[in-house]
Copies of this chain bind each other. A is one copy, B any other.
Amino acid sequence: MQLNNLIDLDQLSLAEIDELIHLANKIRSNPWAYRESCRGKIMATLFYEPSTRTKMSFQTAMYRLGGEVIGFDNPENSSVSKGESLKDTITVVSGYADLIVMRNPMEGAATAATLYSKSPIINAGDGGHLHPTQTLTDLVTLYNEKGRLDHLCIGLCGDLKNGRTVHSLIKSMTRYEGNTFVLISTEELALPQYVKDVMDAAGCRYRELTNLSDAVPKLDVLYMTRIQRERFASAERYEEQKGVFVLDSAKLRYAKKDLKILHPLPRVDEITVDIDDDERAKYFDQTVYGMYARMALIFTVLQNAAIPAKKKTLHSTHPYQCSNPKCITQTERYLPRLFKEAGDMLECRYCDGRTLI
């Protein structure tokens, strides 16, 4: 499997995802066999916004393969604060490290990095856009806990509007046969239309509910996420509604025996602590699966990457500026403007945002 960068899980075929899942399981069943497999390799973790959890998972994965880690997680302490461009940082760091794991608040930043990096790039989150290693984690968890990735009834609860991990998981699961979705949120925080379009295009059935209790009994999988207080329409609405989306033992009473509860963590109070002892709670195991998923990914990328010694300079395909205010091209103005034509729209190659010509 040839994998130069992981920017978006959708870039992989189902066979390739399958290969990663099986490698994760192989490592998990015999981690000792892999403990020297990346000896002498260096991974850089460039975290332009902090995320201790994701960073620790990647670091642990690399150490368990025998490699080393450099990086920063505090941009104020880095050259970035002296006004250095993403291009320069990536060019320099890819001269030090064999692999770059990168989180950035701007959408499309990881794609932009691939234009200049001499080493493979793994996207560890680019703003609200993509977070493919979380989705790979979710797939490894589901495969192991349910035995399959198809014909599942998947509930997703919480802030479905802004939940990047929710969007990615839905998009991936529509690629497997027979999956149906139950979307549980307030009206204000409902799933965006473009994700519904993906389900429709794939012929996946889905229902929208504003109540977790009603949804639980039918589910094979419940994917919980946090609703931030400030995302409710008002303080009154928050007080009125908050309990509706909290998973507690009362709401679990009529759940299936083989339901599996996932959560990308950190949790605040959307799952009560007593659920942790329920055998259906898998959100802590999920973080361990995530470590093995990242080991499989790092191993694959370092074994099979074929990055050209000298990158070709790309030129703008169109004279327009992407209209997404969170697109990386807004802050890094030297980036070539790369679009795919889609009818009378241009789709940005960095952030996937659409601009009317």
Contacts and interface: CB of A to CB of B under 8 A. Distances in A.
Given A32-B40, A83-B268, A267-B88, A56 B273 contact: no
A50 B83 CA distance: 15
A277 B78 CA distance: 25
Interface in A87-129: 87-88, 91-93, 95-97
B73 A50 contact: no
A242 B87 CA distance: 23
A40 B53 CA distance: 21
Given A63-B68, A68-B63, A96-B57, A284 B82 contact: no
Contacts of A321: none
A85 B273 CA distance: 10
Nearest to A82: B266
Interface string A276-289: 11000000110110
A60 B89 CA distance: 15
A287 to B, nearest CB: 5
B40 A35 contact: yes
Contacts of A76: 50
A287 B92 contact: yes
A331 interface: no
Contacts of A63: 42, 68, 70
Contacts of A97: 60
Given A35-B40, A82-B266, A88-B265, A60 B273 contact: no
SS class of chain A's interface: helix, strand, loop or mixed?
helix
Contact of A92 (B53, B64, B95): B53
Contacts of A82: 266, 268
A266 B84 contact: yes
Among A53, A59, A72, chain B packs the most CB atoms within 10 A around the CB of A53
Interface in A252-298: 265-268, 273, 276-277, 284-285, 287-288, 291
A79 interface: yes
Nearest to A268: B83
B291 A95 contact: yes
11 contacts: A50-B78, A52-B80, A56-B71, A56-B96, A63-B68, A74-B77, A79-B265, A85-B267, A95-B284, A95-B291, A96-B291
Interface of A: 32, 35, 39-40, 42, 44, 50-53, 56-57, 59-60, 63-64, 68, 70-74, 76-80, 82-85, 87-88, 91-93, 95-97, 265-268, 273, 276-277, 284-285, 287-288, 291, 313, 334
Given A56-B71, A57-B96, 18 more contacts: A35-B39, A42-B60, A44-B56, A56-B70, A59-B70, A60-B97, A63-B68, A63-B70, A85-B273, A87-B273, A88-B266, A88-B267, A91-B276, A95-B284, A95-B285, A95-B291, A96-B287, A96-B288
